[in-house]
Homo-oligomer: A and B are copies of this chain.
């Protein structure tokens, strides 16, 4: 069953303290070649029938994203490649 994935990220001009904290922690792990980290949300919506992009856009706009500070993008993915689980 295909799913609709909504990716919500802070707009580029909005500071992301959470991402900044991760970026600042990286040198302690010995990682020095990362220039920026941004953290957002990924929402997977499963529809009972056919996935409905317009519906998903409406949900994202009204419930999932704050359009003042966040951008979102919507994609349909096959359930099979939604999460190649990682050991």
Contact = CB atoms under 8 A, between A and B. Distances in A.
Interface of A: 7-9, 11, 19, 22, 25-26, 29, 31, 33-49, 52, 55, 57-60, 62-64, 71-74, 83-86
Question: What's the number of copies of this chain in the assembled complex?
Answer: 2
B33 A83 contact: no
Contacts of A72: 86
A33 B55 CA distance: 9
A11 to B, nearest CB: 8
B59 A29 contact: yes
Given A33-B48, A34-B47, 6 more contacts: A22-B59, A25-B63, A37-B44, A40-B43, A71-B83, A73-B84
